[in-house]
Amino acid sequence: MNKPRLALVIGILCVSVFPLLIKMELAPGLISAFYRMAIALVLILPYAWYTKQLGMPSTKILLLTALGGILFGSDVAAWNIAILESTATQASLLTNLSPVWVGVATFLFLTNKPTKNFWIGTLISLLGMVALVGFEVFASLSFDIGFICGVLSGVFYSAYLLISKEVLAKISIVTFMTYSLMASSVFLGIMSLAWGEPFGGFSTMGWMVLSLQAVVCQLLAWLMVSYALQYMRTTRVSLAMLSQALLTAFLAWVFLDEIITLQMILGGIVLLFGIRITFYNKPITIKRSHWLPLLKMRHKRKSNVTQVRRTGQNLPLR
Q: What is the DSSP string of the chain?
A: -HHHHHHHHHHHHHHHTHHHHHHT-SS-HHHHHHHHHHHHHHHHHHHHHHTT------HHHHHHHHHHHHHHHHHHHHHHHHHHHS-HHHHHHHHTTHHHHHHHHHHHH-SS---HHHHHHHHHHHHHHHHHH-HHHHHHT---HHHHHHHHHHHHHHHHHHHHHHHTTTS-HHHHHHHHHHHHHHHHHHHHHHTT--SS---HHHHHHHHHIIIIIIIIHHHHHHHHHHHS-HHHHHHHHTHHHHHHHHHHHHHS-----HHHHHHHHHHHHHHHHHT--S-----HHHHHHHHHHHHHHHHHHHHHHHH-------
How confident is residue 317, by pLDDT bands cut at 50, 70 and 90?
very low
Round to whole Å and give the CA distance between 18 and 71.
19
Round to whole Å and give the CA distance between 252 and 24.
11
* Contacts with 261 (C-beta within 8 Å, 6 or more apart), sequence order: none
Predicted local distance difference test score (pLDDT) of residue 1: 57
How confident is residue 311, by pLDDT bands cut at 50, 70 and 90?
very low
Round to whole Å and give the CA distance between 106 and 161.
11
Round to whole Å and give the CA distance between 275 and 279.
7
312 has pLDDT over 50: no
Identify the weakest region by mean pLDDT among 32-41, 132-141, 154-163: 132-141
Q: Side-chain half-sphere of 93: how many Cα atoms within 13 Å?
A: 31
224 has pLDDT over 70: yes
Q: 91 and 146 in contact (C-beta within 8 Å)?
A: yes
Q: 219 and 43 in contact (C-beta within 8 Å)?
A: yes
Phi, psi (deg, nearest 5) at residue 28: -60, 155
Round to whole Å and give the CA distance between 243 and 145.
25
Q: Side-chain half-sphere of 12: how many Cα atoms within 13 Å?
A: 22
> Measured between alpha carbons, how far is residue 84 from residues 39, 146, 209 in Å?
21, 8, 15
Tell me the whole-structure pTM to 2 decimals: 0.79
90-108 pLDDT tens trace = 888 888 787 788 788 878 8
Which of 61, 60, 59, 41 lies closest to 49, judged by CA? 41
236 has pLDDT over 90: no
Predicted local distance difference test score (pLDDT) of residue 288: 52
What percent of the chain lies above the pLDDT cut of 70?
Answer: 85
243-280 pLDDT tens trace = 788 888 888 888 888 888 888 888 888 888 887 787 77
